[in-house]
């Protein structure tokens, strides 16, 4: 199928398992993680195959917790030509860390990923996009320990995250010489609407989501950043009990359609790794 436009967008995967999402923090303790059935390796392998089938390369933001348990998965990711980047060690939001604990976390994860992969790790994405107006010091810490870019700000209003006043497109942090690459939004009548992936991609009709990405490419002349998680292509994952209706809808809505929508997205747009899409700015 002919590509809809010539701009190359950034395809990203936040590699975490179904029980590690921030929305489950009140019902799934970190101390229980080792006792739960893991599905992240098989789901990530499925994504690697989908990307290979469509000749797409992307950036895998990897939890250190996952990397430590599945080192062979790290090798498969880099051998297939994808970028390996950091998602922190155990999905702790930056808003729950002070500067010292954050520094220890991002250093530990970067060293682990580089040791396992034999490749430099220059990118970082915070758990739940938890860098915002009150902790921009995180950019300074990331630059100090060797990261070149962050994709940790979502410039929208949201009950769990968001910095709506942030620029919509890649910008140099005022705190440090590091590039921040926000998740994509589309501007309509002066308002920003999310169109970067995750639950919004499963909620909205595909043709509407495609229209939004095309508008960013054609109207703004900017690449889009798309993200999703391995658990989103896994409708058979164990169901969590004791969660409210909002969390249930957000997490489980349209999981059975996710893979087909993703396949269409891979066909309709051009995709590549974050470090290559933004090479001229990093």
Q: Which fold has domain 8-277?
A: TIM Barrel (3.20.20)
Token couple for 262: 């993703």
Q: Where are the beta strands (DSSP E) in 17-156?
A: 59-62, 83-86, 123-124, 149-150
- Domain ranges in the chain are 8-277
Please check the confidence at residue 275 and state whether its pLDDT lies above 80.
Answer: yes
pLDDT digits (tens, 9 = 90+) for 152-211: 999 987 766 779 999 999 999 888 899 999 999 999 998 999 999 999 999 999 999 999
Please check the confidence at residue 109 and state whether its pLDDT lies above 80.
Answer: yes
Residue 150 — left, alpha, or beta (φ > 0 → left; ψ -120 to 50 → alpha)?
beta
So what's the pLDDT on residue 2? Answer: 44
List helix spans (H) across 24-124.
Answer: 40-53, 64-69, 71-79, 99-117
pLDDT digits (tens, 9 = 90+) for 247-256: 898 899 999 9
Among 22-26, 131-135, 171-175, top mean pLDDT goes to 131-135
List helix spans (H) across 188-279.
Answer: 199-203, 206-218, 245-252, 255-268, 274-277
pTM of the model: 0.95
- CA angle 79/81/86 to nearest 5° reads 90
Q: Is the torsion defined by CA of 32, 37, 43, 44 positive or negative? A: positive
Please check the confidence at residue 4 and state whether its pLDDT lies above 60.
Answer: no
Tell me the pLDDT band of 121, cut-offs 50, 70 and 90: very high
Tell me the pLDDT band of 1, cut-offs 50, 70 and 90: very low
Query: How many helices (H) and strands (E) are present in the chain, helices listed first?
Result: 10, 11
């Amino acid at each position: 199928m002919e590509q809809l436009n010539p701009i190359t967008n950034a395809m990203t995967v936040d590699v975490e398992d179904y029980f590690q999402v921030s929305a489950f923090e009140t019902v799934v303790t970190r101390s229980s993680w080792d006792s739960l059935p893991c599905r992240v390796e098989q789901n990530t392998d499925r994504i690697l195959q989908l990307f290979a089938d469509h000749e797409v390369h992307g950036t895998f933001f990897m939890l250190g917790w996952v990397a430590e348990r599945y080192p062979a998965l790290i090798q498969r990711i880099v051998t297939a030509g994808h970028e390996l980047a950091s998602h922190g060690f155990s999905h702790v939001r930056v808003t729950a860390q002070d500067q010292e604990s954050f520094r220890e976390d991002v250093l530990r994860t970067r060293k682990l990923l580089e040791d396992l992969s034999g490749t430099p790790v220059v990118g970082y994405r915070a758990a739940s996009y938890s860098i915002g107006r009150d902790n921009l010091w995180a950019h300074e810490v990331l630059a100090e320990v060797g990261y070149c870019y962050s994709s940790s700000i979502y410039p929208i209003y949201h009950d769990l995250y968001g910095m709506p006043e942030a620029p919509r497109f890649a910008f140099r942090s005022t705190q440090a010489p590091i590039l921040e690459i926000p998740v994509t939004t589309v501007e309509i009548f002066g308002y920003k609407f999310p169109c970067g992936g995750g639950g919004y991609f499963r909620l909205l009709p595909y043709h509407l989501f495609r229209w939004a990405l095309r508008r960013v490419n054609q109207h703004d002349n900017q690449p889009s950043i798309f993200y999703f998680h391995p658990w989103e292509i896994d409708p058979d994952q164990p169901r969590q009990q004791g969660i409210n209706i909002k969390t249930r809808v957000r997490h489980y809505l349209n999981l059975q359609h996710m893979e087909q929508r993703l396949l269409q997205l891979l066909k309709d747009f051009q995709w590549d790794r974050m470090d290559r899409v933004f090479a001229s700015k990093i």
